[in-house]
Structure 1
Amino acid sequence: MLSQKTIDIVKSTVPVLEEHGTKITKRFYQMMFENHPELLNIFNHANQRKGRQQTALANTVYVAAVYIDRLEEIIPVVKQIAHKHRSLGVKPEHYPIVGENLLAAIKDVFGDAATDEIINAWAEAYGVIADAFIGVEKEMYDAAGWDDFIPFSVVQKVKESDEITSFYLKPVDNRALPSFIPGQYISLKLDQIPGEEYTHIRQYSLSDVPGRDYYRISVKREKDGFHPDGVVTNFLHDQINEGDQLLASAPAGDFTIEIDSNDPIVLLAGGVGTTPLMSMMNHVLETQPEREIVMVQAVRNGQVHAFREDILAKNLNHPTLQYYACYSAPTDEDKQEGRFHKEGFVTKEWLDEIVPNVAKSQFYFCGPVSFMKHIYATLKEMGVSENQIHFEFFGPSMSIQQPEEVLAN
């Protein structure tokens, strides 16, 4: 329990955190990696390079300061981050390292304003926040059944489009796989990539239903392998084949379908954002065949349209499933063969036409950041309430309301 004095001191730093939060977290990561380079084996270098991780942490620190007297109100945020931590293998022994470097970064950025009183208050507050994370993560590790990465064998590799390939994974020791909730992901840990000094860990959505003796992930090839965001995906596409082994974590993530609800669902997928939504769609079709589904895929053209034939077949066999494709740049062949329902981008007018019951539907969407921000703004324009909206960023959380230039990928 924090004293009122500590709470007041922490809250007094909120304006500075609002203005200089990202500067603090940039300094934090710089200091931590200099002092503990082994942690470069855990963090995503691409997100570091893009500044997304620094921004996400700055937002978390700011929210923690604002709600320091009502920490129970940020438990959903704690759980969301804890899912990611559990999937990365973050352990209790990492928290003192983070605390030491975070306090040093605050002191460095605050300068003369970083009095002993402020640093001591933040040290006390950090201890309480860290204990909350450690407790939540312990429950997640216990529920998962294992707390490390275990070897899986690639039993099947299937090309889904020019950009996306599926990998079917079975545990080498033939253990029973823990179930998962559609929408969750697993982490892959790769330490065998040629020319890479550090281990890379990446999260990939599970793209099939739970209850199978395998996990399926469907991975998009990035444009090149020379930047951190393309190294891992291109290695999987080019170097990993059937019979090879990969290290994987147990499923995690809080972007999950409400399996106990009968509300109609609308699944809006941009590009590879289809992957968690495929799991949701297939699970509902198997377990709740009477539940209404609208599935929308927004892609550039037919060459990069993954799972098209699979979804079309299900569309024919399940009258409760309505399926639509939106192509932003269809080829002449796409137009001749009528492979899509709308050219351009997903719009309010189109969704009003194809979604039978906007007021009662639950909306789930995933894809490139620009696509998601566009979809969110469109849903709000349609009058969809916040409790009907569910989404997940691939990577660190960020604002859903900032405008972007490109709408689909």
Structure 2
Amino acid sequence: MAARQKHRGAANAAETAALPFNERVLQEVYELYTEQSNGLVPLAQGLGVHLLSPRKKITVLILGNHSAGKSSFINWYIEEHVQRVGVAIETRGFTFVTSGKHRESLTGHATLHLYPHFKSLQDFRGVSEYLSTEVSTSKQKGFNLVTFIDTPGLVDGDMKYPFEVDSVLQWLGEMADLIFVYFDPMGQALCKRTLNIVERLNKSQGDKIRFYLSKADEAGHETDRQRVMMQIVQELCKRPGLNKCGFEMPTIYIPNANKPSRCLNQIDEVCLTIEKTINQTVQTTLNQLGRDCEVIVNAATQRLMQDCEAGMNNRRAICLGGFLGLLGFFMPATLFLGFILTSIKDETAVALLGADLTGLLHFMCAPLSWCWSLVPHDSQTMVLLLFLFICIVLLLCAWFICRLQQRLSRRERRKLEGCRDYVNDVICSKKKQLYEEYLQQSIGEQHC
């Protein structure tokens, strides 16, 4: 079994080494989190810390009115026909399009299992039945590191959705790394529902949003395209949340060799935006790895410090409690012994205990006997009861103080120390190595 696991690990390492650089980094970081024995996620669970493994791919949310070219763009990007396209509303739910080893189509529950970060979608009523995943074997462009979310076409009027589409899109926008908003020039570009959703998303996710005029080759002549873009920009500027400097809306369309067009096609900029986001995600993932390592090390260190503090508190409690306990027991015992010694003759005590022990007992009882002799005879009963009450209070205080705090076992301490040292020595070193490789690769690409 061990040999089989070793062979499997070597095969996985060789397979990972053959991947493109960014994909390899994200894959290795993912394995650092999910490794069954020493992954950050199981280590964090042992410390009561909740961690989620980073996603190995960026998520691109594509929204817009119906027939805006969302599904067509996905098919073009991956160079495979996985999404239905047409003038009618083809996409009625949310479809995750991702790469994999086999061509598969998954339903809603399988989708939620595949994407644990999106499990909260099941809290939206009716959404689970309209979730699906299309797994493609395509390796085109940067698809290995991208998951597209194709969304329902948005329309105005009495169109009813079987779920709260606005709320779901708002939540998905918060989870996505990029949000592509497609405006088509064929009359639906000013869909109020689309603009309302985009305006809400822009309040908190404005840096993720990119606007595109899709199907630009179908807008007629250049003057027609300019007129359409002006109408869209004017409508956007009416909304305070979308009226901002540096607004850009590249014109894109799906290239067709059989249908050449003079319209400027900036669809390659979409690919560059995705590639740039992938590079940023690598940095973000490595930074998150460093922060999560720090969280785990701090949690383990805090547990060890708490255990040391508990040990010190226990020692203080034992000393103080032991002192009070001895005092509460020794005082009545001494008084009782003094009564016995005074009630028998010295010759009898010497005969029974010996001269040395008898002298020692007299010496011990002398202070308490002297104090007792000062008590008036008619008050001795009350003083005796008060004395016994004080002794009982001392014993109760000793019992209360001596309640010890729970300590870690030696095995638990070794485990925590091993966890802390492993994260510091192995995972942090691996993170530093990956970051250096990433920077060297980036500098190398810039100088090429």
Which category of TM-score, normalised to the shorter sequence, fits these structures? under 0.3
TM-score normalised per structure 1: 0.26
Q: Specify which structure has the higher proportion of strand.
A: 1
TM-score normalised per structure 2: 0.24
Q: Specify which structure has the higher proportion of helix.
A: 2
Which protein has the larger Cα radius of gyration, Structure 1 or Structure 2? 2
